[in-house]
Amino acid sequence: MQFIAENSWGIFIAIEIAALICLLCFIGARYILSLRKVSTIFLSLFLFTMVLEGILAFLVYKETGTISTFQIVIVIFLIYAATFGRTDFKKLDYTAREKIGKWRNVSLLKDEEVEEMARLKHPKTVARKARYWFYAHTIIFLGALIYFWNAYGTSEASWVYFLQERSWFNDEALLQPFTSEMLNQVIRLWVIIYIVDTIVNWSYTLFPKQSPDDI
């Protein structure tokens, strides 16, 4: 247990590399070698790596007795895998079949799949989905801030103070909004991610790509 806690990041990276290898083997076995049963085994191993990451996070917590950045990173990875990861996997699978099909000079895509992907890639569809994600991210972010403030907010100043005096964000020596040092670091990171995510998501609406139908 101590070995796992001391080498948690290295083990996590090793699991991620194993997941990538399993994913590549899945694509190669299914679409290049046409070994469907073998590819299913590699897909199962890929999914099992996520289970291993969850077990790893639990074992590290059991050994240290505290929630650290390590557990937070793994939780973020698992949440992504359970939500947007599935969509990204389908896109990767589609792209792999498209490229490998052209290379093998065979059709690995169904007509309805091609039509569906064309619809999903349409600038208006992309922009609409990006706005939905922005709204969802904003609600989750604000909800988390309200909860954390009520649970761990400092009693030395109000939340309005930290909105007006934002120098705390760049100077850890100043009064921080939360009593947990780790939580302050997490919020800093989340604020940066939220700002970048907002810019990216709204860029699809404000600066949409030209649709092939409009060319």
Higher-confidence residue: 32 or 5? 32
- CA–CA dist 130, 107 (Å, integer): 31
- Helix or strand run (H / E) with residue 194: helix 181-206
pLDDT single digits (tens) 67-113: 777 887 888 888 888 877 887 888 888 889 889 988 988 888 888 88
Residues facing 153 on adjacent strands: 178
- What's the confidence (pLDDT) of residue 26? 95
DSSP string, 82-118: HTHHHHHHHHHHHHHHHHHHHHHTS--S-HHHHHHHH
φ, ψ at 165 (rounded to 5°) = -105, 85
pLDDT single digits (tens) 185-214: 888 888 998 999 999 999 999 988 776 555
In the chain, where the domains are located: 1-82, 122-207
Among 46-55, 88-97, 109-118, 151-160, the minimum mean pLDDT is found in: 109-118
Residue 50 pLDDT exceeds 60: yes
Q: Give the chain's mean pLDDT.
A: 88
In angstroms, the Cα distances linking 124 to 21, 29, 49 are 35, 36, 36
Residues facing 178 on adjacent strands: 153
- What's the confidence (pLDDT) of residue 214? 55
The whole-model pTM stands at 0.67
